[in-house]
Amino acid sequence: MIGYVLLMFYNLYEGKSRSEFETEMHEHFGMLVKMPLLNPNRDHFPNSIKGILDEGLNLYKLHTNRHGKLDCAKGSYGKKWSRWERQLREILFANADYLTMIEVPFEHVLNHVLDDL
């Protein structure tokens, strides 16, 4: 489930500030390459996107507290994960124009990463 993977990456920061996380990554890997994905001057997420992500974060906490890193489809919250994933897709597709508007163009991302490397 792609939504679950998204939440796993989001939770890499859990309990750390951005600075602490970046320092840890730099120490571990020797360098840190940042990849811009979203326009920094964007409007706030629509309430529907914010709401579904908040629901996912709550479900993620419930799941990991009970099952650790077990595949989300295999735990006791499997049906909830399926329902949440379906709702996430519907909401993201319904907001496709907004998401396209706030994303950084691929050429810019590529040039930024190449400059960092």
Extents of the domains making up the chain: 2-116
Nearest of 99, 2, 107 to residue 48 by alpha carbon: 99
Average pLDDT per block of 10 residues along the chain, 117 residues long? 85 85 90 89 94 94 89 88 96 96 94 89
Contact 53, 117 (CB under 8 A): no
Residue 13 confidence (pLDDT): 78
- Nearest 5°: the CA angle 54, 59, 61 is 95
Residue 97 confidence (pLDDT): 96
Q: pTM of the entire structure? A: 0.80
Residue 11 confidence (pLDDT): 82
